Amino acid sequence: MNQFQYSRPAEIASAIKLLAKDSNGHFLAGGTNLVDLMKMGVVVTNKLVDINHLPLKQIQKTPTGITIGALATNSEVADSAIVKENFPLLSLAINAGASPQLRNMATTGGNLMQRTRCPYFFDITAPCNKRVPGSGCSALQGYNRMHAIFGANDQCIAVNPSDMNVALTALDATVHVSGVKGERKIKFADFHRLPGDHPELDNTLQKGELITAVDIPASPFNKNVYYLKIRDRTSYAFALVSAAAALHIENNTIKGVRLAMGGVAHKPWRLTAAETFLTGKPVNEDNFKQAAQIAMQGAKAYEYNKFKLKLAPNAVIQALKMASGIAS
């Protein structure tokens, strides 16, 4: 491992200042992803700013919803009575991810920042535009079974690996960040990005900005929810495809719906057209099937992930059936 400077500030302003002029420094929270990447030589940093002593662990109700501090661990969020009562979809999604040991260490902010699990990104001998911009994408002609079916291009076909992010995009969360220029809010849907011409950038954070909190607005989606994760083994595996469904049902009519998929794009993939189709419709399997078809418009598979073109709509249908209670 290369040598780097380590510091552990106790104040947010000090942490931000420490990275303000440093183009190659990193904030360290739970370290469940960053430390692995450093050990493998994927991330080579000259400065680590350990933020674990910053006062960012709150999980609180607010007049408009809840706020979750960036350092609240995944376990603390998933087990929080406030979260379970108001946003059970988030608890389900978090508990579908990683292992209990990792969830005890991993933080909310870190989960937003975790990098793709594309094997070529981790292999420092392989061309990878995300790791070395301009070097090429090994996955395009390689083993692309885990890769994207939406929003990808020849620059990068990787997917965002987080389960938590799928629930947060469905729940219309907002990310609070702080930097040398002050504080700002980013809509969750705008936080992660598609590869475009800059696959090395996973999100819209400016250099040196620190995630301080994630807010989720109050909503009626606290009863009919389901997070379906389809993976190679039941525990500790990343999603081949996942589907988050939250329904507001009155008298068998869908008054509102939130849908998102994971494991299918460079960012958590919100299914707004399918949501629009379902709103006002009765709860039945036929409508769920039509919504899933709508959700798949624009999908494109590669050599080894063609199965996702069938798996993804089936996951959406099943998640909707489970959330609505017409399947158990």
Q: Please give the residue ranges that form the binding site for ligand SF4 (CB under 6 A).
A: 116, 118, 120-121, 128-130, 137-139, 156-158, 199
177 near 210, Cβ under 8 Å? Answer: yes
Q: Which residue number, 268 or 313, has a Cβ lying nearer to ligand SF4?
A: 268
> Residue 99 and residue 263: Cα distance in Å, rounded?
18
Cα separation, 23 vs 167, in Å, equals 31
Pairing status of strand 174-179 against strand 210-217: antiparallel
Smallest distance, Å, CB 301 to ligand SF4? 14
Q: State in angstroms the smallest separation of the CB of 101 from ligand SF4.
A: 26
Sign, CA torsion 109/110/116/120: positive
Q: Based on CB atoms, which residue is closest to ligand SF4, 118 or 274?
A: 118
- Which CB, 65 or 133, lies closer to ligand SF4? 133
Question: Which CB atom, from 150 or from 221, has the smaller least distance to ligand SF4?
Answer: 150
Least spacing, CB of residue 193 vs ligand SF4, in Å: 13
Q: How far is the CB of 201 from ligand SF4 (least distance, A)?
A: 12
Pick 85 or 154: Cβ nearer ligand SF4:
154
Query: Measuring CA to CA, which residue among 173, 172, 144, 179 is closest to residue 159?
Result: 144
Task: Answer yes or no: are the C-beta atoms of 261 and 316 closer than 8 Å.
Answer: yes
The one-letter code for the residue type at 13 is A
| CB 240, min distance to ligand SF4, A | 16
- State which H helix or E strand residue 89 sits in: helix 88-95
